[in-house]
Chains A and B, each alone.
Chain A
């Protein structure tokens, strides 16, 4: 009887220990963090209010909030990327990436990983391109081109850039490139 109890007890302990150890090993990292190859990470963190955080959550959308690990803590770690004519562009860090948000639009990704050299976002106001973004430390210039040719060029400063088009642009087929 005692032997049976010992066996059942040890099996239970093993199952509980396995559950605890596996849970610890696969626990999600929920802390927002920007990669060290992004100079913008060195900018001072800005804490956004609840109203802004809720509005940004709506803009980013549930799918991307989950995908890039954006949580309430992310809004205490925001960085000002640029001040444009359509609003302040913020970088919101997540535990699995980051989102650039301004003027009711967002662009998300995992900047700093291979292939993720840039995060950019732009719109057209009064016929002209207005935008902003971030790049990794190795990039110095960002261009926006259309099938007809170069639309805008911006220098990267402190890991960030802003785009202000000087000529009217046709809003179709625009592409970003960083070098």
Chain B
């Protein structure tokens, strides 16, 4: 009698493991389908910290104004925030002029590039600290 009970318990345990494996497989399958790719010549995340060609979309706490250290040919740039804020995106020429100015309100936005000269990329999220990033795509 005890032997039969043990067998049933073992069977139930095996069934539970099978259920768990099935569910984990489904999660793994779903993750594969939600991955996305992005291609650009170069990318630089410049807010809250600067990093080029790796980790371009990693977020951190940002507050205020950020600018890239170097002048480059800019293709597009964007800001991504975890909270609704007023934001600004623009480029700064070597003479200090602001070009391709964009402002908005929401969880993020984008602006086109600038082909007339090499510029620094600039972004603002100046309505309180928020988790996010600013990144710019550029070419040599």
Contact = CB atoms under 8 A, between A and B. Distances in A.
A108 B108 contact: yes
A118 B107 CA distance: 10
Contacts of A97: 107
Contacts of A58: 76
A109 B34 contact: no
Given A63-B38, A110-B107, A171-B98, A18 B112 contact: no
A72 interface: no
B15 to A, nearest CB: 5
Q: Is the interface of B mostly helix, strand, loop or mixed?
A: strand
B78 A123 contact: no
Contacts of A67: 80, 107-108
Given A22-B22, A66-B34, A105 B102 contact: yes
Place the interface of chain A in its size category.
35 or more
Contact of B104 (A23, A27, A107): A107
A4 B98 CA distance: 75
DSSP class of A's interface residues: helix, strand, loop or mixed? mixed
B73 to A, nearest CB: 17
Interface in B100-140: 101-112, 124, 126-127
Contact of B36 (A12, A20, A66): A66
Given A59-B112, A108-B107, A171-B90, A11 B124 contact: no
Interface of A: 7, 10-12, 14-20, 22-23, 26-28, 58-67, 97, 100, 104-111, 115-124, 131, 133, 144, 171-176
